[in-house]
């Protein structure tokens, strides 16, 4: 009985000391004939290909090898998830029917990306990079191929990857599995969970056969440090994302809407006022330190006070608040028409998100 090559991908990581979320393992087997005086028989030897550069785990090796034994006994290959036996940590792996990962050690990868270079250079992400540096930046990415119906990421998954659609398209699904939007070639996803070090907030399902580039957190940070122009791209992208999701809220806010931070996070509230160029005063009460007051002029933050904290520090502090009542009142005092901005809004927001991220407990890999 032949043993087909199958792929397992880590979908849950609980402090595993060796592997990370989304690491891929290829499992295959070779049938070896054994002859002796009394009978001829066949045994199957397992071959497990581990993620590039990762050590072999004896515990996981035994767990995956048992899949071959089960198959030889007539059992079906698991089509959902298996769990490793665990040591100091544990992982869950999901069986994929197709090996959709094109590995960096595949000799065809360079040729394939080379043929895509003209296409990639037209994407908004790569337009922020000088042409002579595009090849270097692309070298930090890996390429994955998906079939129609494949799930790329699920809502609630750990974040940590940024994706660029090279060919094909994907659907964005809500909690009920209903399509709320779609993304085509050149568009991106996964950046919010990566930047904010948070869980994925939507499920991405492949609409048609697609090739997708992705980059992980360490390499993402490298290209940000090397090419500061990319930071401007993400500033604009975050602005577009939040502006789209908060467009309806903006219409209500312009007439003096009240609400709660538990329903509209502070970062989304501020972003809505900024992107819609609102002029007025945002007052937030019932906070851990009392009352906060922020003044906007055509979307620019010109005054900020939270308890005894003022300026940008008041802005950073309010982003940490999870509950409180707010009210936006249109209009500002005449003397504030010429008050200078506290700072470039998207720079303030990204710095605030960075400070929030530093204050979170570190996640184990």
Q: How far apart are CA 118 and CA 172, in angstroms?
A: 27
Whether 45 shows a pLDDT value over 50: the answer reads: yes
- Span 317-346, mean pLDDT? 89
Q: State phi, psi for 192 to the nearest 5 degrees.
A: -70, -45
Q: Average pLDDT, whole number, for the chain?
A: 77
pLDDT of residue 107: 44
Predicted confidence (pLDDT) per residue in 212-267, tens digit: 999 888 888 888 888 877 877 877 777 776 666 555 455 555 556 678 888 888 98
The superfamily in CATH containing domain 101-242 is: Jelly Rolls (2.60.120.10)
pLDDT of residue 114: 56
Which regions of the chain does DSSP assign to beta strands (E)? 6-14, 24-35, 40-49, 81-83, 90-96, 101-102, 142-146, 151-153, 161-173, 179-184, 188-189, 203-216, 258-260, 280-287, 290-297, 300-306, 309-310, 325-330
Whether 99 shows a pLDDT value over 50: the answer reads: no
Beta bridge partners of 285: 325
Predicted TM-score (pTM) above 0.75 = no
Predicted confidence (pLDDT) per residue in 262-311, tens digit: 888 898 889 888 888 888 899 999 999 999 999 999 889 999 999 999 99
**Position 31 confidence tier, pLDDT thresholds 50, 70, 90:** very low
Domain residue extents for the chain: 6-96, 101-242, 246-359
Say whether 158 sits in a helix, a strand or coil. Answer: strand
């Amino acid at each position: 009985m032949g043993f087909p090559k199958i792929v397992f991908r880590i979908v849950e990581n609980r402090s595993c000391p060796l592997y990370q979320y989304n690491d891929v393992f290829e499992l295959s087997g070779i049938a070896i004939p054994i002859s002796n005086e009394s009978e001829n028989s066949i045994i199957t030897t397992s071959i497990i290909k581990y993620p590039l550069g990762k050590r072999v785990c004896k515990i996981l090796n035994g767990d995956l090898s048992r899949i071959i034994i089960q198959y030889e006994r007539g059992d079906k290959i698991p089509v959902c998830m298996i769990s490793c036996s665990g040591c100091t940590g544990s992982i869950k792996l999901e069986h994929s029917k197709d090996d959709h990962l094109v590995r960096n050690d595949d000799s065809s990868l360079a040729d394939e990306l080379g043929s895509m270079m003209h296409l990639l250079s037209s994407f908004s992400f790569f337009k922020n990079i000088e042409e002579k540096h595009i090849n270097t930046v692309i070298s930090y990415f890996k390429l994955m191929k998906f079939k129609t119906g494949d799930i790329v990421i699920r809502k609630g998954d750990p974040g940590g990857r940024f994706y660029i659609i090279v060919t094909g398209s994907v659907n964005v699904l809500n909690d009920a599995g209903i399509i709320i939007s779609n993304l085509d070639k050149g568009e991106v996803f996964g950046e919010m969970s990566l930047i904010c070090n948070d869980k994925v907030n939507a499920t991405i399902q492949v609409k048609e056969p697609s090739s997708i580039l992705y980059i992980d957190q360490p390499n993402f940070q490298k290209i940000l440090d090397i090419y500061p122009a990319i930071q401007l791209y993400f500033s604009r992208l975050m602005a577009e994302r939040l502006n789209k999701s908060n467009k309806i809220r903006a219409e209500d806010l312009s007439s003096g809407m009240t609400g709660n931070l538990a329903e509209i996070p502070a970062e989304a509230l501020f972003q809505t006022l900024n992107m819609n160029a609102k002029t007025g005063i945002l007052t937030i009460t019932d906070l851990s330190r009392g009352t906060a007051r922020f003044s906007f002029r055509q979307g620019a933050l010109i005054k900020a006070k939270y308890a005894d904290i003022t300026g940008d520090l008041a802005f950073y502090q309010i982003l940490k608040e999870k509950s409180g009542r707010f009210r936006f009142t249109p209009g500002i005092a005449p003397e504030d028409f010429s008050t200078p901005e506290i700072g470039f809004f998207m720079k303030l927001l990204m710095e605030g998100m960075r400070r929030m991220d530093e204050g979170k407990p570190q996640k184990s890999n």
